[in-house]
């Protein structure tokens, strides 16, 4: 089990949302619970490779060495 973040909003009678890792792909539901189920199905599609050319957002960890950081602060 894991936790996946998602963004959602209500538009009229529908809850619309997307997985934060895949913001280009939205789904909807008539309830927030239905939206959550549809998002889970969408995640399965992504992870099984059923969505070709899916763009994903990830985080990049950048470590600055002390010397480079000192030079940047002097500018």
Q: Is the dihedral of CA 27, 32, 38, 44 positive or negative?
A: positive
pLDDT in tens, 11-61: 999 999 999 999 999 999 999 999 999 999 999 999 999 999 999 898 899
CB-based contacts of 32, cutoff 8 Å, min separation 6: 8, 15
Would you kindly state where each structural domain of the chain is located, as residue ranges? 6-74
Give pTM, 2 decimals: 0.76
- Calpha distance 33→30 (Å, rounded): 8
Q: What string of H, E and C letters represents the secondary structure of 3-32?
A: CCCEEEEEECCEEEEEECCCCCCEEEECCH
Per residue in 51-67, pLDDT (tens digit) is: 999 998 988 998 877 66
């Amino acid at each position: 089990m894991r936790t996946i973040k998602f963004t959602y909003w209500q538009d009229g009678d529908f809850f619309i949302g997307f997985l934060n890792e895949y913001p280009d792909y939205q789904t909807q539901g008539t309830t927030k619970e239905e939206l959550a189920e549809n998002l889970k199905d969408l995640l399965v599609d992504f992870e099984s490779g059923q969505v070709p050319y899916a763009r994903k957002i990830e985080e990049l960890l950048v470590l600055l060495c002390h010397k480079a950081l000192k030079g940047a602060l002097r500018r």
